[in-house]
Amino acid sequence: MLRIAIVDDEPSVVDEIRNIVISFFQEQNKSIDLSCFSSGEEIISYHQQYDLIFLDIQMQGMDGIKTAQELRKNDKKAVMIYVTSFGSEMARSFSVHPFAFLEKPVNADLLRKNLQDYMEYAFKEQDFKGIPFETMTGTVLVKPDDILYFEYLGNRKIRLVFDTGEYLIQDALVNLYPLVEKYSFMKPHQSFIVNPAKIKAVLGLDLLMIDDAKIPIPLKKKKAVKASLS
């Protein structure tokens, strides 16, 4: 059963999204558990994890961006669709990366397309065994959630560091980045690709990873890196 939440302080918008979502998943013959909230504070106090969250950006009290940041502290995998009155270009600058943007007034066809995209993403992920990497000892499959970072060592050698060990890859970082970019990996330094979920802290001009490795941040990139993690 898919757990879905709608968070919006406009009852009419909640009802509109709710009706389309229910209709769509009935057609798909998929069971859903649908919860509706009128504020960010309300969904956070509910202490429930969701598969898919529709999140209004402009709300009284805690806005949608702050709500998303709070939800991400305990739920790294929920797919978020921002509902916004902003134009798409401004919306793309928000720091908690969403799956899609849905502009008000809600377009039913676009919402249904977002839901179809989500279905393809979610059920493809269920069968996902990992990204194939050609290492010095053969091809391995590594799930993005298990990766901490990639470190370029020179001479086309790269360390792939994951939760329980590491592999050596003979390649260039520029070739690896497209494989992990869609999973929100970042390049804080020309010699590193990092999984933000594995960062423990920002210490001055270093990222402290969960394995206690320190990854340098160039001074000119510090502001952008910190903004992307906020």
Whether residue 186 sits in one domain with residue 150: yes
Are 6 and 21 in contact, with CB atoms under 8 Å apart? yes
3-state secondary structure of 205: coil
Query: What angle do helix axes 108-126 and 11-27 make, rounded to 10 degrees?
Result: 50
Angstrom distance (rounded) from CA 152 to CA 192: 6
Whether residue 176 sits in one domain with residue 137: yes
pTM greater than 0.75 (yes/no)? no
Q: Where are the alpha helices (DSSP H) in 28-172?
A: 40-46, 64-72, 88-91, 108-126
Whether residue 198 sits in one domain with residue 117: no
Report the pLDDT averaged over residues 65-88: 84
pLDDT digits (tens, 9 = 90+) for 113-141: 999 999 888 776 555 678 889 998 889 99
Residue 89: what pLDDT? 46
pLDDT digits (tens, 9 = 90+) for 192-225: 999 988 998 888 899 999 999 999 999 888 788 7
Whether residue 165 sits in one domain with residue 116: no
Angstrom distance (rounded) from CA 219 to CA 150: 20
User: Where residue 143 sits, what CATH number does that domain have?
Assistant: 2.40.50.1020
Query: Average per-residue pLDDT in the chain?
Result: 88
Angstrom distance (rounded) from CA 178 to CA 172: 11
